[in-house]
Amino acid sequence: MNLTQSENAPRAYRLYDFAFRALRTARIDRALNFVGGARGIIFALHRVRPYTEKSFQPNIGLEITPDFLDAAISHTKARGLTFVSMDEALTRLYDKKGDNFAVITLDDGYRDTLEHALPIFQKHQAPATVYVTSGFADQNRPLWWLTLEEAIRSAPSILFPDPNGTVGFATDTPRRKQAAFEQIRTLVVKYPPDLIRETVLDLARQAGIDEIALCRKACLGWSEVADLAKDPLITIGAHTLSHPVLARCDPKDAVIEMARSRATIEEQIGRPVRHIAYPNGDPASAGQREFLMAKALGFASATTTRPGLVYSQHTKWTTALPRVSLNGFFQTIEQLDTMLTGAPFLLRNFGARLNVS
């Protein structure tokens, strides 16, 4: 399934798809394999569940189908990579021994990880790291992107309470709903965490939505996280308390978000938590300050969403590891094949293997 060319696809994904198709046309994708001596690849996922056709689905990029996950694992294995845990990946990175590796990670802690993804991991005996947002597992924190989707879906118009002045949006057609979602999302990601929460609550009230019920439906509770943690294939990592953009947090609050999330998860599952993923994870959301914080807090690794393969040089910055997104817009083996070469990311970064600025 290829949704990259749909009108819902972000511009960056369309540009990547153009690069993928250009590389395939030139047959560069098959000529190269893990360009530049990369050691591994870390896949970033969110939701895994069967596809349902809807006229308005602005968060489709956050999910892949179970069938594609199954095929992606099989194909990656066929390309000679070994799926390993995050701990084993770090060992191979430091020791410079063993096959090239692949790591599966999933952010947020969605319920479908247990329902749809785990059986596939078990089928392939493929380890995975699940980064849990502890507030979502507490089931008392709204997922603003889901609340925004439902608020727009349920109303022909909405009033968005922007601090610079309330903005009205017509949301009476799928196209207008999508446009409103994109414009509001662009505003919201720039807000400090407290303002995001206030805005989400306002939208929920307007639409008569129970934003906490959405969280409970979408996310694993602690008993389910504990059950998931018992599987030997699963590593539980931290993903902060409330999923804020850490770069927009006061330094003290950013540390609290990371440290208390880890402590809460450790208490719930009864084992150490060594790994963390930064919410959003792009350069605007986590930078050198956050990388140093994670290191000072003693995390063995921290992952971003900066696209790229993992190189030996990343031993210097294991709290700034890149990942390659498996998302709703890239669900073909041809696209996966091109990503496995690393060529698109090398082009994007103009040859830079390690960028932690």
Residues 108 and 167 reside in one and the same domain: no
Residues 85 and 101 reside in one and the same domain: yes
- The answer to whether residue 357 sits within a structural domain is no
Q: Choose one of 213, 238, 269: the last residue of a domain.
A: 213
In terms of Cα–Cα distance, which of 306, 303, 333, 336 is closest to 321? 303
Residue 155 has pLDDT above 50, yes or no: yes
Minimum mean pLDDT range among 27-31, 158-162, 316-320, 326-330: 27-31
Q: Give me the pLDDT at residue 5, please.
A: 44
Contact between residue 176 and residue 247 where contact means Cβ atoms under 8 Å apart: no
Residues 288 and 153 reside in one and the same domain: no
Residues 148 and 183 reside in one and the same domain: yes
Nearest 5°: CA angle at 233, between 227 and 237? 70
Q: Choose one of 213, 242, 270: the last residue of a domain.
A: 213
- The answer to whether residue 54 sits within a structural domain is yes
- The answer to whether residue 2 sits within a structural domain is no
Q: Which domain holds residue 51?
A: 11-138+219-348
With cut-offs at 50, 70 and 90, classify the pLDDT of residue 33. Answer: low
Q: Give me the pLDDT at residue 113, please.
A: 98
Residues 100 and 247 reside in one and the same domain: yes
Q: Give me the pLDDT at residue 230, please.
A: 96
Q: Give me the pLDDT at residue 352, please.
A: 44
Residue 261 has pLDDT above 90, yes or no: yes
- The answer to whether residue 355 sits within a structural domain is no
Residues 250 and 125 reside in one and the same domain: yes
Residues 199 and 261 reside in one and the same domain: no
Q: Give me the pLDDT at residue 351, please.
A: 41
Q: Give me the pLDDT at residue 197, please.
A: 86
CATH code, domain with 290: 3.20.20.370
With cut-offs at 50, 70 and 90, classify the pLDDT of residue 348. Answer: low
Look at the alpha carbons of 274, 277, 283, 285 in this order and tell me if their dihedral is positive or negative.
negative
Residues 34 and 158 reside in one and the same domain: no
Residue 76, class by beta-carbon neighbours within 10 Å (0-12 exposed, 13-18 middle, 19+ buried)?
A: buried
Total count of domains within the chain: 2
Residue 248, class by beta-carbon neighbours within 10 Å (0-12 exposed, 13-18 middle, 19+ buried)?
A: middle
Residues 24 and 170 reside in one and the same domain: no
pLDDT, one tens digit per residue, over 319-342 is 999 999 999 887 899 889 888 888
Residues 121 and 159 reside in one and the same domain: no
Reported pTM = 0.90
- The answer to whether residue 293 sits within a structural domain is yes
Residue 169 has pLDDT above 90, yes or no: yes
pLDDT, one tens digit per residue, over 56-84 is 999 999 999 999 999 999 999 999 999 99
* Average confidence score pLDDT of the chain: 89
Residue 3 has pLDDT above 90, yes or no: no
Q: For the residues 19-33, what does the mean pLDDT come to? A: 56
- The answer to whether residue 353 sits within a structural domain is no
- The answer to whether residue 151 sits within a structural domain is yes
More confident residue, 19 or 211: 211
Residues 34 and 87 reside in one and the same domain: yes
pLDDT, one tens digit per residue, over 223-256 is 999 999 999 999 999 999 999 999 999 999 999 9
- The answer to whether residue 311 sits within a structural domain is yes
Q: Taking the mean position of all CA atoms in its chain, how far away is CA 87?
A: 19
Percentage of the chain beyond pLDDT 70 is 87
Q: Choose one of 179, 213, 247: the last residue of a domain.
A: 213
Residues 234 and 305 reside in one and the same domain: yes
Residue 15 has pLDDT above 60, yes or no: no
Pairing relationship of beta strands 167-170 and 157-160 according to DSSP bridges: antiparallel
Residue 304 has pLDDT above 60, yes or no: yes
Contact between residue 219 and residue 111 where contact means Cβ atoms under 8 Å apart: yes
Cβ neighbours for 278, distance < 8 A, ≥ 6 positions apart: 240, 246, 285, 286, 290, 294, 302, 303, 304, 305
